[in-house]
Each structure stands twice: as structure tokens, then as C-alpha cells.
A = this chain, B = another copy of it.
Amino acid sequence: MYAVASSRLHPQMIPIKSEASGATRKFEVNCSGCNLRELCLPQGLPAEHMQRFENVVYASRRVRRGETLFHAGDEFSSIYAVRSGFLKTTVIDGDGREQVTGFHMGGELLGMDGIGDGRYNGNAVALEDCEVCVLPFSLLEEFGREVPAMQRHLHVVLSREIVRDHGIMMLLGSMRAEERLAAFLLNLSRRFTARGYSPSDFHLRMTREEIGSYLGLKLETVSRLFSKFQDDGLIEVQQKHVRIRDIPGLHGLMGN
């Protein structure tokens, strides 16, 4: 019925030059044919502008598991749209402590933290082999000046990122460990569902430690909670594979 969420390259990429076989290569994009078009930046863009948008998408870039798409401090010039794969973003403070700020899947945008002062503020690391679309920000801005719908949508995307962050602040500031993990699982479920995967059956790409960092918990706490949720019949866990058995039950955990 549902495919278990897994990493597959989507077949929109059409290389122009075979010599450009490095990490980044120019290519003809086909946003209109991309199965992520309803989730990605061109979402809702009238057909007449779609072709123009495809010229903004400058290149694709392949990032292998463990590799970094951009580092904090790198010069900013583009934002990235995830075409396939799964990444985390992190920030590091003066003392070297790392905080995971998000996990990102197909159709989601990365790098918007770099617009502010011309350098990325955080890091983006692939948790599995990824393919991302490179969107040079100056081209996006130019496009936005010409097409109000594009401009508005860019603002919408930036604003939603702010709203997303406020949700995480709520989670970190006001919820107990159990609620945080339930919220996390439900959030993943929702996002997988939007991409056509099973709402209840998925493979976690991140470690317990990364989940813990994201949720403001230690990895042992995350592990114990997974076990507890399993004992309570809410989920089944086996290493990185999770099956949610009781979505209403997880919802019920929040707010008690």
C-alpha cells in the first residue's frame, strides 16, 4: 500500500555535459515533472512561470552520506532544495557544543540562514546520499522582482521557517521528554505522508544522539523513551526502523 520511506533518486536530472561529473553539475531541470513540485519552492507557481523557474535552478549537487552541503561560515550564494535524501542542519556555539536545528527531506529548503550576513550560520550534513537543487539566491531575487507570485512565495517560505522554529522553541521550552519525542514522531509521520510514504512505517536516518540533540535530550533518554513507547504499545522500534501503532495515543501523550 505504502512504500516504506526510503531514499531514491528522482529521475528529473538530465545532465548537460558528461564531463561535469563532479559533485555539482549543471542540468536541465524539469520542476513541472518533479514529484516534489507541490512541496518545493515553485509550489503554486502558475504554469506560465514554471519554465522560467527552471532556469533559476542552476545545478544539482550530490552529497554523500556524512558529507557536508555547507558549513557555518561558508560564503552564502545559494539556497538548496532537497531533491532526494535526508539531511540535518546544526549550529555550533562558542564552546563547540552542537545543536541539531532540523532534519530535512525531499522538497524542503536549506540555507536560508545565510541570507542575513552573507555566510551560512549553520551546517548542513547529509544523513544519507542526497541530491539537492542549487538555487542561486540572486537569481531568485531577480525572478521575484519580476513575478510577484514568486516573490510572495519566497517570503512565505522564509516565514514558514520562522514558524517552524517557533514550534521547536515551544517544544524545547515547554514540553517534557515524552511529549517531545511524541511530537517528533508525529511530525516525521506527517511529513512522510505528504511525500506519499507510509504515515506509520519509516526508517530513521539519524542516530539517537542526533534525535536527542534536536529534542534537547541525551541519547540514553531517547533510547529509554523508545523502549517505553514500545512497552506501552504505541510504537514498535527495531534500531532505526519505527512503526507507529497508535497515532492517537501519541497525540494523547502531549498535554498531560
Contacts and interface: CB of A to CB of B under 8 A. Distances in A.
- What is the interface residue range for chain A against chain B? 35 or more
A169 B159 contact: no
B169 A99 contact: yes
Nearest to A156: B116
A186 to B, nearest CB: 12
A75 interface: no
A16 to B, nearest CB: 29
B170 A91 contact: yes
Contacts of A255: 93-95, 97
Interface stretch (A62-70, A145-153, A223-231, A232-240): A145-153
Contacts of A174: 93, 97-99, 213, 216
A89 to B, nearest CB: 8
Interface string A68-81: 00000000000000
Given A144-B151, A145-B148, A158-B158, 16 more contacts: A93-B170, A93-B254, A97-B170, A98-B174, A100-B173, A112-B158, A113-B159, A115-B159, A121-B162, A121-B163, A122-B166, A145-B151, A165-B165, A165-B169, A169-B169, A174-B216
